[in-house]
Amino acid sequence: MEYITPEMIIKILLSILLGSLIGLERGKSANYTGLKTYPIVCLGTCIVGILGNVLDYNEPTCLARIAAGVISCIGLLGAGIIIKDENESKVVSLTTVAVIWFTSIIGLVIGTNYYILGVIGVIGYFITSFCMNKIENRFREPKKNILFFFKK
């Protein structure tokens, strides 16, 4: 018989919230994926994490196998997202794939009872994203020399 506990509902809601925050940040920068993709990925992997906890407490490798499967599937999803720009000889959307992979890990972390680690991970994501955006914008400014990067 299936049973749903209040803790499972909290995990699901937290994964939707954290995935949505990541999706909002990615959507504001005009990426191909956005508000719906990230909470869905985070929610799905959270549910897989919950399932791994419920399936068999006597078999600790069961959860490890489930986690490995999730990570492999996200890699397959990522391969479909990576796009080669037709006008230039560069690959785009790698950051999107990385963030989708990261979001799936957050869902798995929450689903396996590590709430604080999930929240800290998302805070780390925002700090990294903010800092890297500042650095990228600084280098993109016209007529800026790298030697003058730290001045101002």
pLDDT digits (tens, 9 = 90+) for 11-62: 999 999 998 888 888 777 666 566 677 888 888 888 888 877 776 656 656 7
Question: What percentage of the chain carries pLDDT values higher than 90?
Answer: 9
Higher pLDDT, 42 or 78: 42
pLDDT of residue 146 exceeding 60, the answer is no
pLDDT of residue 3 exceeding 70, the answer is yes
User: What does the block give as tokens for 89?
Assistant: 């000889």
Query: CA 6 → CA 3, 11, 12, 13, 84, distances in Å?
Result: 10, 9, 10, 11, 45
Task: Give the pTM.
Answer: 0.67
